């Protein structure tokens, strides 16, 4: 049964190529919103809290602060409305799911930036 599901996903689900990102990274997600007959592109910029699932069922959660209120949004990786994902900053965290980030405020809520060697 699992091989049948995997076959259908491989054959019929269209896969989009997005850059590789992890928990702690600050990303911007551009997605399409339909309002009546009109469509517009909206973006959501925040920190990746978790990446969950595998294959076509993979989702990722982004958290941003809107004023003093924290807003989280879950995006499926194969959402047809997803247009583009941009990585703004690479974060240095020690966990794959940073739920503790929800309780932090102020300077404690900052994530160190990961540095890369350039050849």
**Tens place of pLDDT per residue across the chain (119 aa):** 778 877 777 777 677 788 999 999 999 999 999 999 999 999 999 999 999 988 778 899 999 988 888 899 999 998 889 999 999 999 999 999 999 988 988 888 889 998 876 55
Question: What is 24-103's CATH number, 3.40.50.1820, 2.30.30.790, 3.40.50.11540, 2.160.10.10?
Answer: 2.30.30.790
For residues 75 and 43, give the distance between their C-alpha atoms in angstroms, rounded to a whole number.
12
- DSSP at 108: G
The label of the residue with tokens 């909206």 reads 42
- List the structure tokens of 119: 């050849």
Residues 79, 31 contacting (CB under 8 angstroms):
yes
Spans of all domains in the chain: 24-103
Q: Angle at the Cα of 52 (from 70 to 20), degrees rounded to 5? A: 90
Q: What is the DSSP letter of 113?
A: B
Does this model's pTM top 0.85? My answer is no
């Amino acid at each position: 049964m699992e091989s049948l599901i995997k076959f259908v996903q491989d054959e019929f689900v269209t896969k989009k190529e997005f850059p590789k990102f992890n928990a702690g990274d600050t990303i911007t997600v551009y997605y399409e919103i339909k309002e009546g007959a009109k469509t517009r592109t909206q973006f959501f910029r925040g920190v990746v809290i978790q990446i969950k699932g595998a294959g076509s069922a993979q989702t990722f959660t982004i958290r941003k602060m809107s004023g003093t209120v924290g807003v989280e949004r879950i995006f499926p990786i194969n959402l047809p409305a997803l247009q583009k994902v941009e990585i703004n900053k690479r974060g240095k965290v020690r966990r794959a799911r940073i739920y503790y980030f929800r309780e932090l405020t102020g300077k404690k809520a900052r994530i160190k930036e990961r540095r890369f060697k350039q050849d």
